Amino acid sequence: MYVVGVTGGIGSGKTAATDFLARLGITIVDADQASRIVVEPGQPALHAIVDRFGERILQEDGTLNRRALRDIVFSNDQARRELEAITHPAIGDQLRRQIQDSDSDYTVLVSPLLLEGRQKDMTHRVLVVDVPGEIQVARTVNRDQVPMEQVEAIMRAQLSREERLALAHDVVTNDGPLERLHQQLEQLHQRYLELARRHGG
C-alpha cells in the first residue's frame, strides 16, 4: 500500500485537505482519531495514564478529560514525554492496522506529529499543509476557544515551520480560499495515483 503522510502545524488546515482527498475516494487514516481510540475506557493505555497522572484526568463517566490532561502535559515537558511513551506505541499499532485495511488507490496518514516521531516510517511521501504562524494561532484560538498561550505552547512542542518544510516532499499553502487549496490537492492527487501505480508494479 502506497502511503502519503499529511502533516502541518496546529490550525494549518490538515482536515480541510484530507476531507477533499476523502471525497476523491482516498482512505484517510487519522492519528488524532487513533489517539482517541487507544484511550477509550477499558483500553490499556488509559489505565497506564491514570496510573501515572491520577484520577483527576478522568471525567465522571470514566472517560479521559483531554483538556485536563493537555493542561498538565503542555506546561511540563517531562510529563509530555511520559504521556507519549504510553500512547505512541498504542497509536502506532492502531494506525498500522487501519493502513492494512485500506483498499483505496493510495492511503493518507494524517498526523500533527508525523515528522516528530516514528509515524513517518509508515509513509512513502510527506505532504505538508503550510500556513504562517500568525494564521495558525488565530484559527486555533477561534476554533478551540483556548488561550493564545496554550496554542503557542502546542506550537513549541511541534517542529518549527522551517523544519517541517525542509522534510516535505510536497507542500500546499492554505492561507487563501478553499478553492485554491483544492486545486493544489487535485494536482497532487493525480501524481500520487501515478506513484501508487508504479509502487504496485
Contacts of 68 (CB under 8 A, 6+ apart): 56, 57
11 labelled ligand-binding: yes
201 labelled ligand-binding: no
120 labelled ligand-binding: no
15 labelled ligand-binding: yes
CA-nearest of 86, 94, 80 to 153 is: 80
CA distance linking residue 8 with residue 103, whole number of Å: 25
14 labelled ligand-binding: yes
In the numeric block, which cell numbers belong to residue 45?
Answer: 493505555
12 labelled ligand-binding: yes
Burial class (CB in 10 A: 0-12, 13-18, 19+), 106: buried
**Binding-site residue positions for ATP:** 11-16
**Binding-site residue positions:** 11-16
